[in-house]
Amino acid sequence: MQKYSKTELFETVPVLQALAAMSVPTIISQLINLIYNMVDAFFIGRTGNSYMMAATTLTLTLTMMNVAFSNLFGVGGGSHVARLMGMKKTDTARSVSAFSCYACICLALVWSVLIGVFLYPVLYFLGASEATIGYAADYTRLVIVLGSLPAILSLTLAHILRNAGYSSQASIGLSSGGILNILLDPLFMFVILPPGQEVRGAALATLISNILACVYLLYAYWKASGTASLSLRLQDAFRIDSENRRQVFAVGIPSAILTGLFDLANICVNILASAHSDLVLAGMGIVMKVERVPNAVNIGICQGMLPIVAYNYSSGNHARMRETIRKARFVGWGIAFMSIVLLEVFARPATNMFLSVSAGDAEAAAVTISFATLFLRIRCLASPLQFTNYHTSYCMQAIGNGRATMLHAFVRELVFYIPFMFLLDRFFGEVGLASALPVGELCGATFALLLLRHVLRRAAAREQGR
59-79 pLDDT, tens digit per residue, is 877 888 888 899 899 988 988
Tell me what the mean pLDDT of segment 270-291 comes to. 86
Q: Over 60: is that where the pLDDT of 54 sits?
A: yes
Tell me what the mean pLDDT of segment 229-252 comes to. 90
- Taking CA atoms, 341 is separated from 39, 283, 334, 338, in Å, by 24, 21, 11, 5
Q: Over 80: is that where the pLDDT of 24 sits?
A: yes
Which pLDDT belongs to residue 358?
61
Which pLDDT belongs to residue 228?
79
Provide the percentage of residues in the chain whose pLDDT is more than 70.
94
Which pLDDT belongs to residue 103?
95
289 vs 381, residue with greater confidence:
381
Confidence of residue 262 (pLDDT cuts 50, 70, 90): confident
Which pLDDT belongs to residue 361?
62
Return the minimum-mean-pLDDT range out of 117-126, 359-368, 439-448: 359-368
Confidence of residue 357 (pLDDT cuts 50, 70, 90): low
When mean pLDDT is compared over 44-53, 85-94, 172-181, 202-211, the highest value belongs to: 202-211
Q: Over 90: is that where the pLDDT of 101 sits?
A: yes
Return the minimum-mean-pLDDT range out of 15-19, 131-135, 361-365, 416-420: 361-365
Which pLDDT belongs to residue 448?
93
Confidence of residue 463 (pLDDT cuts 50, 70, 90): low
pLDDT in tens, 162-178: 888 787 888 788 888 87
Return the minimum-mean-pLDDT range out of 54-68, 244-258, 336-350: 54-68
466 vs 145, residue with greater confidence:
145
Every domain of the chain and the residues it spans: 6-465
Q: Over 80: is that where the pLDDT of 209 sits?
A: yes
pLDDT in tens, 363-380: 777 888 889 999 999 999
38 vs 15, residue with greater confidence:
15
Q: Over 60: is that where the pLDDT of 359 sits?
A: no
Which pLDDT belongs to residue 1?
42
Q: Mean pLDDT in the chain?
A: 86
The reported pTM is 0.71
Q: Over 90: is that where the pLDDT of 338 sits?
A: yes
